[in-house]
Chains A and B, each alone.
Chain A
Amino acid sequence: MNDVSWIAVGFVVAMTLVTIGLGIYATRMARSASDFFVAGRSVSVFWNASAISGEYLSAASFMGIAGLLMKNGYDALWYPVCYATGYLFLLLFIAGPLRRFGAYTIPDFAEGRFDSPTFRKIAVTFVLFIGFFYTMPQMKGAGVVLGAILGWPYWAGIVVVGAVITFNVALGGMKGITFVQAFQYWAKLFAIALPIFVIQATTGGYAERLEAERSRPSELPTIAESRTVSIKGAKSFPANVMVVPETGSTRITFPDGAKLARISPASPAGSTDPNAPLVMIGSAPGSSRGLGAASDVVIEAGATLVSTGRATRLEFAEPARAEFAAGSPAPNAPANVKWSEPFGPLTSKHGYPLLYTYSLIVALICGTAGLPHILVRFYTNPDGRAAKRTTLWVMAMLGAFYVFPPIWGTIGRGAMPWLYADNSTDSVVIRLPAILESKLLGEIASGITSAGAFAAFMSTFSGLLVSMSGALAHDIYGKILRPSASPESRMLAFKIAAVVIGAVSMALGLLVESFDIAMMVGWAFAIAAASYFPLLLLGSWWRGLTKQGAGAGMLIGGLLSLSAIIVSMLLDKKILDAQPSPLVRSLLEQPAIWGVPLAIGVMVLVSKLTPSGLPADVALKMLRLHAPEELGLSKNYIEH
């Protein structure tokens, strides 16, 4: 998109101004240090739940799920389901005890539960670790959306959005963003729900589309009118790959020519002659030649590529323009049956669909329960009972939201199949409104979703920034470096920390342009699932957990899961050249199914070996975690 969508820009600017305005307004009410860190704990259950939901719905939820569902179909439903229902485990096992213990951050919990300042340091590093991994996809979302609606370069979107949010957090602290986050939940719900109702009037409804997929199992979505798509080059691997399907008649014209790094069969030759050409290519009828598997193929300007009925994988070396003739099936798209039924391309890619599905479920559910920026919010509840009520509301609010992204993905599959061609299904939420017949209505709808996407990465980035700055100011400065610091100097430390962390996040965001949003979010969840989740679960429910056990389990589980994901990513990007077995490959890509039990196992084992690490008053601590407030045992870690 070269031209600027001014209406969309208007919506995005309005969203940003309201965010800043609410931040400034709320700052006037943020007076004490306790206000600054935890919103004074005066927030009602309904608003607190709105704020938690607003903070939680990130770029991955707003843009990523719809894109992933369009790309992979049924299997992608597990993402929103586990993002939302992870809160059930939080509710059942963690929310009440954590709030009751009076710990504001996980490091507070770590130190308070085990009487170990050393353990606080380990826990703080994980706040920063998970936080930075989670900020990277948010930053990428900002760069991509601003690129799509303004035509800005990737870096400009990141710098502008990053600076605005950092400024807002440094000025208002958490009190500032509680209102902003709550407002943003409702803005996001509106932005994901309203436009898709209007769009369904044009394209047909959700169930109707799903039924159409099911009734023609072997077909692919078809590009109805001729359409030109920009294909990415080798720098964006694997987004530069295009698989021409075996069914349908694909015709692609390259007006400027193209350079292919590789052309190869995408499926085993089977009974056909392995030397038969994969595709035909030529500039004029009658002059076309057959192309078999080859490297470094140059396609001349104006040449047209026609499929021969064999699935063919084209890997582009340089960016190119490709014009799809009307009636071409969408490349890269799974067939209807694979898309609409379980165990499709996402979970079956390494051949262990059931294992992959379960591991994904474990990662997302346990990861949700261990995200540091969400747990902080439970402290804004007045007591453990309100913390549980809040979680209940959060689940209702998230459920209401998560019904919609799959509708976007389903409608997008039928209405915009060319998004498959350049691997840009992630942008379906921003682009789909363009199919509306009224151009004005389309631009307004696209403006609404752009503003929603903006709200998504703004709110999540704010929450992470507060969490990480809080860890630096409250845990490292306030508890480790200068325990005697006055509330004023701790507040100043918070502001400085926010600016520094904001700057680092922007720098990291610039590095990740070629990585998938969903993949980066997966890192954060998997690390949280194998580090914080076992700590909180066992710490709340097993009195025998010692600091040595908790520390060892957290470090081993968290770091091994992280390593597995990084190795898997390097394999995907072909930076690492190895061929692990499909089982190993599945376990590397989705490590939670071994990472979480490993962390828990190490915690239990090491705790049994180090009984001297038990705090002397462990019974009182356990009581404080679980006894109702009326017993009078609760205490707060933050002075008023």
Chain B
Amino acid sequence: MTSDKHVSELSPELHSRLAHLVMRRQAGLSLRVASVFVVLLLGLPLLNRFAPAIAGAEVLGMSASWLFLGVLIYPITVLLSFYFVKQSDRIEAECTDWRAVLGEEAGEPLEPKGVDDVRPAFIEEDLGGEESR
């Protein structure tokens, strides 16, 4: 039964499908966070160029632009990262079981082959073999 197998024993098709599903969720999160950051960072030169009155407004003795680039950008980046790490952990927690990720696709019966006690040897052989290649 497929659901008894270790994930490394799955068919390439299922690997491909699983990788696609896991990556899609992680990439979606990464791109969301990155786009916020890119808008902030790449937007600032445009603001400096085309709205100097806003960029140059005085805040706490500095220009707003200087305050943002010299001080505020660091805590903002840390907050973005913190959000990313939390969300990314959540995605990983949901992806620890490949059966859950694949959902119904995992159900199709394949030839019964692997049982739990051969798993370590199999991993050694398959993944460890690359070492000497």
Contact B66–A210 (Cβ < 8 Å): yes
Q: Is the CB of B8 within 8 A of A81?
A: no
Which of A263-271, A417-425, A621-629 touches B? A621-629
Check if B95 is an interface residue, CB within 8 A of chain A: yes
B48 at interface by CB-CB < 8 Å: yes
Cβ–Cβ < 8 Å partners of B63 in chain A: 210, 214, 340-341
> With the chains together, A342 CA to B64 CA distance in Å?
12
Taken together as a complex, chains A and B put the C-alpha atoms of A207 and B95 apart, in Å, by 49
A635 CB–B CB distance under 8 Å = yes
Min CB distance B20 to A, Å, is 8
- How far is the CB of A505 from the nearest CB of chain B, in Å? 31
Contact status A619-B15, CB under 8 Å: yes
Q: Are B41 and A361 in contact (CB under 8 A)?
A: yes
What is the CA–CA distance of A628 and B22 in the complex, to the nearest angstrom?
Answer: 9
A630 on interface, CB distance cutoff 8 Å: yes
B2 within 8 A of A: no
Mask, B37-52, CB within 8 Å of A = 1, is 1000110011011001
B15 contacts A541, CB within 8 Å?
no
**Chain A 341-355 against B: per-residue CB contact (8 Å), 1 yes, 0 no?**
111000000000110
CB <8 Å contact, A400 and B69 = no
Contact A96 B88 (CB under 8 A): yes
Which single residue of chain A is at the shortest CB-CB distance from B32? A92
Segment touching B, from A310-318, A383-391, A511-519: A383-391
Docked complex Cα distance between A446 and B48 (Å): 36
A211 contacts across to B, CB distance below 8 A: 58, 61-62
A85 touches B23 (CB 8 A): no
In angstroms, how far is the closest chain B Cβ from the Cβ of A384?
A: 8
Contact of B15 among A81, A343, A620 (CB under 8 A): A620
B1-27 interface mask toward A, CB cutoff 8 Å, 1 = contact, 0 = none? 000001110001101101100110011
In the assembled complex, A399 has its CB within 8 A of some CB on chain B: yes
Whole-angstrom distance between the alpha carbons of A117 and B132 in the complex? 11
Residues of A within 8 A of B27 (CB): 541
Residues of B within 8 A of A354 (CB): 45-46, 49
Whether A92 pairs with B66 at a CB distance below 8 angstroms is: no
Q: Which residues of chain B have C-beta atoms less than 8 A from A290's C-beta?
A: none
Using an 8 Å CB-CB cutoff, how does the interface string of A370-408 with B read, 1 for contact, 0 for none?
A: 000000000000001100110110011011101100100
Contacts of B33 in A (CB 8 A): 88, 92
Contact of B22 among A210, A402, A626, A637 (CB under 8 A): A626
Instruction: Choose from A357, A632, A633 the contact partner of B45 (Cβ within 8 Å).
Output: A357
Contact A88 B80 (CB under 8 A): yes
The digit string for A189-223, where 1 denotes a CB below 8 A from any CB of B, is 00000000000000000011011001000000000
Q: How far apart sit A400 and B93, CA to CA, in the bound complex (Å)?
A: 31
Q: Given that A112-B130, A342-B55 are contacting pairs, would A388 and B73 also be in contact in the complex, using a CB cutoff of 8 Å?
A: no
Is there contact, CB below 8 Å, between A400 and B74?
yes
Residues of chain B within 8 A (CB-CB) of A395 are: 74, 77-78, 81
Answer yes or no: A437 CB below 8 A from chain B CBs.
no
Asked if residues A392 and B70 are in contact (CB atoms below 8 Å), the reply is no
Q: In the complex, which of the residues A85, A87, A402 has the most CB atoms of chain B within 10 Å of its own CB atom?
A: A85
Q: Are A399 and B19 in contact (CB under 8 A)?
A: no
Instruction: Report the separation of the CA atoms of residues A343 and B96 in the bound assembly, to the nearest whole angstrom.
Output: 49
Please determine whether B92 and A628 come into contact, CB atoms closer than 8 angstroms: yes
Docked-complex contact B61 and A541, CB < 8 angstroms: no
A82-94 CB contact bits vs B (8 Å, 1 = yes)? 0011011101110
Select one of B66, B81, B95 contacting A391, CB under 8 A: B81
Q: Please tell me if the beta carbons of B37 and A85 are within 8 angstroms of each other in the complex.
A: yes
Cβ-based interface call for A457 (8 A):
no
Indicate if B127 sits at the interface (CB-CB under 8 A). Answer: yes
30 interchain pairs (CB within 8 A)? A81-B41, A88-B34, A88-B77, A89-B34, A93-B30, A112-B130, A117-B133, A214-B58, A341-B63, A342-B48, A354-B45, A357-B45, A388-B88, A391-B81, A392-B78, A392-B81, A392-B82, A395-B77, A395-B81, A398-B74, A619-B15, A619-B19, A622-B23, A623-B15, A623-B22, A626-B19, A626-B22, A626-B23, A628-B96, A630-B97
Query: 5 new A-B pairs (CB below 8 Å) besides A395-B74, A543-B16?
Result: A340-B63, A340-B66, A342-B65, A395-B78, A630-B97
A interface, CB within 8 angstroms of B: 74, 77-78, 81, 84-85, 87-89, 91-93, 96, 112, 115, 117, 207-208, 210-211, 214, 340-343, 353-354, 357-358, 361, 384-385, 388-389, 391-392, 395-396, 398-400, 402-403, 406, 483, 541, 543, 617, 619-620, 622-623, 626-628, 630-633, 635, 637, 639
Chain B interface residues toward A at CB < 8 A? 6-8, 12-13, 15-16, 18-19, 22-23, 26-27, 30, 33-34, 37, 41-42, 45-46, 48-49, 52, 55-56, 58, 60-63, 65-66, 69-71, 73-75, 77-78, 80-82, 84-85, 88-89, 92-93, 95-98, 123, 127-128, 130-133
9 A-B pairs with the lowest CB-CB distances in the bound complex, closest first: A399-B74, A207-B61, A619-B15, A342-B48, A630-B96, A619-B16, A622-B19, A623-B19, A92-B30
